[in-house]
Structure 1
Amino acid sequence: MSEETTRYDASHIQVLEGWEAVRKRPGMYIGSTGERGLQHMVFEVANRAVNEVLAGRASTVEVTLTPDGGVRVADDGPGVPFGEAGGTGGPGLEALLTSMQTGAGPGGRHDAELGFCGMGPFVVNALSRRMTAEVRREGIRWVQAYARGVAITPPSEAGMATGSGTVIAFWPDPDIFETVECPFGALAERFRELALLNRSLEISLTDRRRPDESRSVRFRFPGGARDFVTLLDARTTAPAPTETIAFEFEDPRMAGEVEVAFRWSDSREERVRSFANSRPTIGGSHEQGFRDGVAAAINTYARKQLLLTATDPDLGAERIGEGLTAVVSVKLDHPEFEGSTRGVLGNPSVRTCVGEAVQEHLGTWLEGHPEQASAVVGRIQGARQD
């Protein structure tokens, strides 16, 4: 082997930045180049619009799958300026669409997280053959066009505007993706989930790709997590021995708030869903705290009512979970996740705070509903003997 073949120095290092890096390794930014990646493209663009509603600056978000294969995301907020975004501390629209955004949004617990890595719509721009932006602000309509992450026209006035808002449309690049058709069902499921976790959010999804099969859904759930539990139990025919127990609680020790709703049915299946800042999780300190609190409240009540003797062991969490449907949602100023996929919440204080809140509220409910409480304990004891 020659010296030239084996030599390696700085001249061999290829440095890719901006849109080039995104297009070279799209999976690092959106997860895949299949349908899952397309979903995250939609979520990265919709994220800003959703947070406009949660901040009270807009009232609704509309997502449309267009006949020409594009995706259109519109909100009725104040409209993002093309310059610096005033007192919000955020970038103007052109910077938002052409520069990498990193780090959590400024809203902390008040921001929902939709995308894969939270890199912002620039990633979508880089992976789209075309993107357009329309802003209605202060009586003027502004438009600009982009291609593969680069602005191809300057911002230009396009006439007078009625109302205000921002519309971003993009067309996924077929040179990048295995398919450019976004899955309606998966998008609808995630948007429904977001509306269930955020009472103030109203969001619609419309599919106009096939004129003879146009469909549209609109989501808004004033009942929050309570409505979520009802939805999760909608397919079960087993009767519910308890009503839905729901509460919200803010605790400065974890710099955040928790919303919990749960109930038991005569089904043997456990359905526990957990979320952190509206992001689905597969476990973590919030879910552990919920289970701690439920077990503590049930066992304390059972011993107080002599449903368990001094020699009986505690009712285990695995038995307590049978037939339990629950939604545990925390919204934190500083969420800490374990691992790069951010599927497990790590904040240690959250376990303590959620556990104490659940134990207190469930304990109060058990004391106030003795017949249902006895039915729950009896069911759990029966499950233990199966």
Structure 2
Amino acid sequence: MTESGNPSQPENLNEYNASHIQVLEAREGIRRRPGMYIGSTSERGLNQMVFEVVTYAVDEHLAGHADTIDVTITSDGGVRVADNGRGLPVEVEETTGMSAVERELTELSFHSKPHSGYGVCGGISGLGLCVVNALSSRLTVEVHRDGHRWTQEYEKGIPITALTRHEEGSGHGTTITFLPDTGIFETTRYSFAALSQRLQELAFLNGGLAISLTDERPERPVRYHHTDGLRAYVTHLTPYPPSLVHSPAIAFESENQDKTIFVQVAMQWNTWSTGGFHSFANSTRTHEGGAHEQGFRTALKDLVNDYARRHRHLGTDDEDLTIEAIHQGLTAVVSVKLAHPVFEGSTRTKLGNPEADAYVHEVVREHLADWLHHHPDEAAAIIRHTLNAST
């Protein structure tokens, strides 16, 4: 037996201490495990790169500083995203000697842009620009701010030029152009259809924001601008007017007193389809649902049954209408924007905030009850449709 302390003693394989912990720099960690940040290295992850940059621009809109986002798939296979927001900050921090632009594009823990409004972070990781930079073979940022045009270039997340000030100008905004790294992605060919669908969705969710998509492979420009927001979205999802149980679509929105949560709802019953439920948190589709969906469904079930009984569509001995019957033919969109969203699950597509449940429930009870009261004919048609669906 080898004595304790003998250099020839084999290492204890069960030992675990600080020397075994490997700390990766932001760029290295992202490039080694890209799926942790954008979901995959397939076409889905490739498209997510675009959405991460667009999300940053959408935040500028929510903060009241941008109303236009232009996305271009360039002829060389890259993507350019331009907005007319405030522009990334360009000042240099004395302690690091780095510009705010460079820190935003290279550090995981840094957030130079002060999110006003709801502090929205709609990307998968919430670290969009840094992640996109690390996973791009080339990235160029162009900022119009503080009376000048500024540029900086990167290769695989590493700056190859300093932030450079150019000619004077009065414009404002940020343009980011990037080429995905072919050594990381399984494909570097973007799906125009997938990008178009998501950008149109973002335009619906953010009323008044104009988003364009141009493909230079050949050129196929589209532009989305929906001042009517979620009502326009529901109309888009229910395209056959003769099938509508009521018209126009029901739509309402509300913000809590602390301005930490904003709720938008649009809904339309129809006889053409079985309907569908679309929920979003900070413009990200919550495929697994969560608190906001729970608040909507509970309020809707209680309210429809209360209305049906008060107006004698249901007798005292009749059972309540089920949520399945109420949802038959209902197309609904619920969007919440929160200061501190809590996403659950590995894909971050389920909202866990209990305050979202409570506030959505409150908003639906108040506003839908008011709508039913002021539209008795349409309300009666909805109840008849629901009763037919329950038989």
Give the whole-Å Cα distance in 2 for the aligned partners of 1:359 and 1:28.
39
Question: Which of 227, 230, 248 does residue 225 from structure 1 map onto?
Answer: 230
The answer to whether the Cα contact below 8 Å between 1:22 and 1:126 also exists between their aligned partners in 2 is: yes
Moved more, 70-79 or 323-332: 70-79
Moved more, 145-154 or 134-143: 134-143
Name the % identity.
48
Secondary structure of the corresponding residue to residue 331 of structure 2? strand
**Structure 2 counterpart of 1:304, one-letter code:** R
CA RMSD of aligned residues (A): 2.5
Give the whole-Å Cα distance in 1 for the aligned partners of 2:59 and 2:22.
37
Give the whole-Å Cα distance in 2 for the aligned partners of 1:164 and 1:105.
15
**Structure 2 counterpart of 1:239, one-letter code:** S
Give the whole-Å Cα distance in 1 for the aligned partners of 2:378 and 2:21.
68
Give the whole-Å Cα distance in 1 for the aligned partners of 2:91 and 2:259.
36
Give the whole-Å Cα distance in 2 for the aligned partners of 1:186 and 1:38.
11
- Say if 1:146 and 1:254 are closer, same or farther in 2 by CA, change over 3 A: closer
Secondary structure of the corresponding residue to residue 355 of structure 1? helix
Moved more, 359-368 or 268-277: 359-368
Give the whole-Å Cα distance in 2 for the aligned partners of 1:27 and 1:34.
9
1:246 maps to 2:237 = no
Moved more, 330-339 or 124-133: 330-339
Give the whole-Å Cα distance in 2 for the aligned partners of 1:315 and 1:45.
44
Moved more, 274-283 or 133-142: 133-142
- Say if 1:9 and 1:312 are closer, same or farther in 2 by CA, change over 3 A: closer
The answer to whether the Cα contact below 8 Å between 1:96 and 1:120 also exists between their aligned partners in 2 is: no
Give the whole-Å Cα distance in 1 for the aligned partners of 2:275 and 2:119.
29
1:296 maps to 2:302 = yes
The answer to whether the Cα contact below 8 Å between 2:119 and 2:339 also exists between their aligned partners in 1 is: no
- Look up the match of 1:273: 278
- The TM-score normalised by the length of structure 1 is 0.89
Secondary structure of the corresponding residue to residue 144 of structure 1? strand
1:142 maps to 2:179 = no
1:71 maps to 2:79 = yes
Moved more, 343-352 or 146-155: 343-352
- Look up the match of 1:378: 384
- Look up the match of 1:203: 211
1:325 maps to 2:331 = yes
Give the whole-Å Cα distance in 2 for the aligned partners of 1:363 and 1:165.
43
Moved more, 290-299 or 219-228: 290-299
- Look up the match of 1:286: 292
Give the whole-Å Cα distance in 1 for the aligned partners of 2:259 and 2:58.
24
Give the whole-Å Cα distance in 1 for the aligned partners of 2:68 and 2:277.
29
What are structure 2's unaligned runs of at least 5 residues? 1-7, 94-98
The alpha carbon displacement at 1:305 in A equals 1.5
The alpha carbon displacement at 1:366 in A equals 2.3
**Structure 2 counterpart of 1:270, one-letter code:** G
Moved more, 360-369 or 288-297: 360-369
The alpha carbon displacement at 1:377 in A equals 1.5
Secondary structure of the corresponding residue to residue 326 of structure 1? strand
The number of residues matched between the two structures is: 375
1:161-176 equivalences under 5 Å are 161=169, 163-176=171-184
Give the whole-Å Cα distance in 2 for the aligned partners of 1:216 and 1:231.
20
- Look up the match of 2:96: none
The alpha carbon displacement at 1:31 in A equals 0.8
The alpha carbon displacement at 1:119 in A equals 1.2
- Look up the match of 2:163: 155
Question: Which of 14, 38, 54 does residue 30 from structure 1 map onto?
Answer: 38
- Say if 1:237 and 1:288 are closer, same or farther in 2 by CA, change over 3 A: same
The answer to whether the Cα contact below 8 Å between 1:284 and 1:346 also exists between their aligned partners in 2 is: yes
The answer to whether the Cα contact below 8 Å between 1:105 and 1:111 also exists between their aligned partners in 2 is: no
The alpha carbon displacement at 1:112 in A equals 4.2
What are structure 1's unaligned runs of at least 5 residues? 86-90
Give the whole-Å Cα distance in 1 for the aligned partners of 2:258 and 2:355.
7
The answer to whether the Cα contact below 8 Å between 2:280 and 2:334 also exists between their aligned partners in 1 is: yes
- Say if 1:104 and 1:111 are closer, same or farther in 2 by CA, change over 3 A: farther
1:72-221 equivalences under 5 Å are 72-83=80-91, 92-101=100-109, 106-107=114-115, 110-161=118-169, 163-208=171-216, 210=217, 213-221=218-226
The alpha carbon displacement at 1:3 in A equals 6.4
Moved more, 6-15 or 253-262: 6-15
* Per-residue deviation, residues 251-272 of structure 1 (Å, max 9, x unmatched): 3489312111112111351211
- The TM-score normalised by the length of structure 2 is 0.88
Question: Which of 43, 49, 53 does residue 45 from structure 1 map onto?
Answer: 53
Secondary structure of the corresponding residue to residue 372 of structure 2? helix
Secondary structure of the corresponding residue to residue 320 of structure 2? coil
The answer to whether the Cα contact below 8 Å between 2:80 and 2:177 also exists between their aligned partners in 1 is: yes
1:348 maps to 2:360 = no
